[in-house]
A and B are shown apart, each in its own frame.
Chain A
Amino acid sequence: MMNIVENFDLFAPRLINKQELISSGHRACSGCAEVLAVRLMCKALGENTVIASATGCMEIISSMFPTTAWQVPWIHVAFENAAAVASGVEAGLKALRKKGKIDDRYVKVVGMAGDGGTMDIGFQALSGAMERGHDMIYVCFDNEAYMNTGIQRSSGTPMGASTTTAPAGKVSIGQKTWKKNMPEIMVAHGIPYVATACPSYPLDFIRKVEKAKSIQGPSYIHCFSMCPTGWRSPSHTAVSMGRLAVETGVFPLYEVENGHYRLSPDMPKKLKPVKSYFKPQGRFRHLTPDQIEMIQEKVTVEFGKLVEKAKFLKTGNE
């Protein structure tokens, strides 16, 4: 509680862009933190934006024909090519601007997709777009499974989570593989800016999107988006769950600028046990203490690696 009181002035709504670029009346589930993340992202991006969106929750809930919730140019493309289309839009805008067919204002092109559309299906298009160095942002809204089609596992699903295609039972603990470390793969592309973010830390998230917007070149933001429906938790817990994921180190917040790591100031000095993050979620209900211990070990090791990287590869401005 004291922590929030200290940060109280940080949350003043006047610091945030008042304009809503995704209108009310979208059909997201009650308590969806992914659409909250999209709303905050749009606030940070502002009007001069073109968004290419892959198939996924954010596409179906915002564009029920004949209506759309978007107040910015938005195009829905197939599952695999959000990044390819975003890079094409960027190149097209550049050509039109050169020919004098559109005005000179700077328009940011954004590609967005869920974890399936980023880590599994859209991976090669994303890798190509980042490698070619297009001036675009790619945002992955990671809710850790294919929630749109009914909670099937993806490579973003964490170890031990029960999904409809990786159900927990007598012989299985649910998902048997570790979550793919997508931000690190993007860092390996050598792009100017990679960040992880979570809508539970709205100002941190907005700042990261604004920073990505200011960079001329490809940037990647990995946004952790809690899904009460798929994670089997009550709708009012979505935001607090994201906070727990960060506080336990399951999803550390950091940014990588030209290869220099920096942990976000919101990261606690001492991590909470992952048990407190697993407890409110139905998808982890079946885990035994041994299995939780195994996951805790991995989380501690991964976080330790990140801290070391942040120490070794410091950003210049600290």
Chain B
Amino acid sequence: MTLKTWRELPIGCVVSEPGSASEYHTGSWRSQRPIWNDTKCIKCGICYVFCPEGCVQQTEEGFFKANMDYCKGCGICAHECWPRAIKMVEEG
């Protein structure tokens, strides 16, 4: 993303491209990452519903996976997953 100079800015600083915030990858904020254990997963989708980033997606087999470009590692999915299929692991 290149920054515009003041001459190039649109009037009123209108942003015309919807959803362009996804150019910025918040995954670098993460200190823990969620790991799914698909043998325990019951495909209920609670991790998908409660993800504040909206980065948990259902795969073709019906299991869930987080997009690590955006996952901030908050741990809500692991805390809410009642079959305990998600584990938070230290990053690095």
Contact = CB atoms under 8 A, between A and B. Distances in A.
Contact of B74 (A4, A31, A40): A31
Interface string A223-242: 00000100000111111100
A191 B44 CA distance: 37
A67 interface: yes
Nearest to B15: A68
B16 to A, nearest CB: 9
A173 interface: no
Q: Interface range on chain B: under 10, 10 to 19, 20 to 34, or 35 or more? A: 35 or more
A264 interface: no
Contacts of A30: 29-30, 72-74
A39 B42 CA distance: 24
A3 to B, nearest CB: 10
Do most interface residues of chain B lie in helix, strand or loop, or is the interface mixed?
A: loop
B17 interface: yes
Contact of B79 (A11, A22, A67, A236): A236
Nearest to B4: A66
A148 interface: no
A240 B50 CA distance: 11
Nearest to B67: A24
A35 B80 CA distance: 17
A25 B24 contact: yes
Contacts, number: 128
Contacts of A69: 19, 21-22
B44 A11 contact: yes
A306 to B, nearest CB: 27
A23 B22 CA distance: 6
B54 A238 contact: no
Contacts of A65: 13, 15
Nearest to A69: B21
A63 interface: yes
9 contacts: A11-B49, A24-B26, A33-B52, A36-B76, A68-B17, A236-B76, A236-B79, A238-B76, A240-B79
